[in-house]
Amino acid sequence: MSLRLEEISSQVAPSAVAAVVCDGAGWHAKGREPKVPDNIVLVTLPPYSPELNPMEIVWQYLRGNKPSAGTWDSYDEILVACANAWHWVGQRSGPHPLHRHPRLSSGQSLGLLV
């Protein structure tokens, strides 16, 4: 995780601070304390709180609106549908339905979630 934090740190604007949300994933475990750069703050979510995790909002939206809304004839078609849905999430130009999601704050960028 320390390498990931270093990469995130290199992308943070000067005099800004990034908040990195840590859920209950094993690699976020406290047993292995990562080296946290000065321009990053770790925000640890309480256990069993997916409603607080911005990435869970993205997964919920995708499950309800993208790949789950179709049928496919092969495994390869499923992979393509999933890749297209993920690329759709990462779009940064123009209005995006997830920007209007009620559980995302008005100032939060979808680009920061993915």
What is the tens place of the pLDDT at every residue in 25-68? 666 555 667 889 999 998 888 887 777 777 777 778 777 777 77
Q: What is the DSSP string of 102-114?
A: TTS-TT--GGGT-
Residue 105 has pLDDT above 50, yes or no: no
What pLDDT was estimated at residue 14? 92
Domain boundaries, the chain: 1-48, 49-114
Residue 16 phi, psi (nearest 5):
-105, 165
Instruction: Supply the pTM of this predicted model.
Output: 0.51
Counted residue by residue, the chain has a size of 114
What pLDDT was estimated at residue 85? 81
